[in-house]
Amino acid sequence: MLKRALLLSALLLTPPVAQASDLGFAAEANTICRAIIDGRNHQTFKAARDQTLELTAAHLRGEAPPTPAEAKTLSKLLQAVNVDLAAAIARLQSLPPSPKLEAFLGYGQSRIDINKARIGFLADLDNWQWPPADGLASSRYDFKASTADLGFTDRDCTFVFDSLGNPPAIANFIAAVAPVCSAEYDRLIKTDINQWRRHNIHIVAALRQNKLWDPEAIAALHQLAVAWRDTTNSFRQAANAINSRPPQWVDVLSNMERQAAIFQNRAGATASGDAEAIAQAFAVRLSVPDFRELGLQETSCIALGTLM
């Protein structure tokens, strides 16, 4: 029963294998996307979003149109957002062209087009209209498909056209740590980490079936321990370089250190051949650090978490 539970736990807790079709392209693109988000004016984007949502809610309630002053303010905000989005598209167009990239950039252009339409509505208060929907359903579908095809899933480019930018209170922290997530993801995806993770599952399956496991499995577990120990050290060095860190930072680092220790204990127990020690080592549950608690939900930290 214990062995069966261990196998089920490993299968459920192990994330899907990451795809690495064109790592160089994805790394370059996400570096650009990270710079775009880091340089974005959070105050402007947030004000534009909030005022748009407020105006939509007021329109649905049947309230009067905005005042000319309110319309002018929102119009200027939307124009500033469009300037940023157009600059983002221009920077990403420096990448090697492809139909997939064109579909990806098309979503950004659709955001600009929607804002242009809203600016037009705000300029004609006498014939007031304000569609409650943004009309982005189809372009969002193309965007998600192209994001996966380009290797951007859960990485910085996933968020580049929707992000408000880094909140000022944690902007320095995000700017320091987000590139580490990208670098660590790019580093790990080039290793045999997916094979190492499969070995981790195969040991549990072998235990359940009373079979021997591949001798390479022990080395794979050691490699997983080293990988997460190195990643933890990279995070610690980056965060130590800045003065302000979220209080949850210590917990996330502890979680990552625990990941490394779990794999190291599994390697040692497996090498010993002691069935009870192996069962105990694999009974300890793995848990992915919650990078969202740190405000890193729009970074490659989310993709890094899929490798854990």
pTM recorded for the entire structure: 0.83
Spell out the per-residue pLDDT of the chain, length 308, in tens: 444 444 444 433 444 443 444 788 999 999 999 999 999 999 999 999 999 999 999 999 999 999 999 999 999 999 999 999 999 999 999 999 999 999 999 999 999 999 999 999 999 999 999 986 666 555 666 788 889 899 999 999 999 999 999 999 999 999 999 999 999 999 998 899 888 888 877 776 776 666 666 778 888 888 999 998 999 999 888 877 777 788 888 888 888 889 899 989 988 988 888 878 888 888 888 888 889 989 999 999 999 988 87
How many other C-beta atoms lie within 10 A of the C-beta of residue 136?
Answer: 16
Residue 12, pLDDT score: 37
User: How many of the other CB atoms lie within 10 Å of CB of 241?
Assistant: 10
C-alpha 188: how far from chain center: 16
At 11, which amino acid appears?
Answer: L
pLDDT, tens digit, for every residue of 201-215?
777 677 666 666 677
**SS3 letters across the chain:** CHHHHHHHHHHHHCCCCCCCCCHHHHHHHHHHHHHHHHCCCHHHHHHHHHHHHHHHHHHHCCCCCCCHHHHHHHHHHHHHHHHHHHHHHHHHCCCCCCHHHHHHHHHHHHHHHHHHHHHHHHCCHHHCCCCCCCCCHHHHHHHHHHHHHCCCCCCHHHHCCCCCCCCHHHHHHHHHHHHHHHHHHHHHHCCCHHHHHHHHHHHHHHHHCCCCCCCHHHHHHHHHHHHHHHHHHHHHHHHHCCCCCCCCHHHHHHHHHHHHHHHHHHHHHHHHCCHHHHHHHHHCCCCCCCHHHHCCCCCCHHHHHCCC
* Residue 211: predicted pLDDT: 64
Buried-exposed string 165-203: b where 16+ CB fall within 10 A, e elsewhere:
bbeeebbebbbbbbbbbbbbbbebbeeebeebbbbbebb
Closest-CA residue to 288 (of 19, 16, 17, 14)? 14
- What's the Cα-to-Cα distance from 265 to each of 52, 207, 269, 273, rounded to whole Å? 53, 16, 6, 13
Asked whether 241 and 179 are in contact (CB, 8 A), the reply is: no
Structure tokens at 132: 């409650």
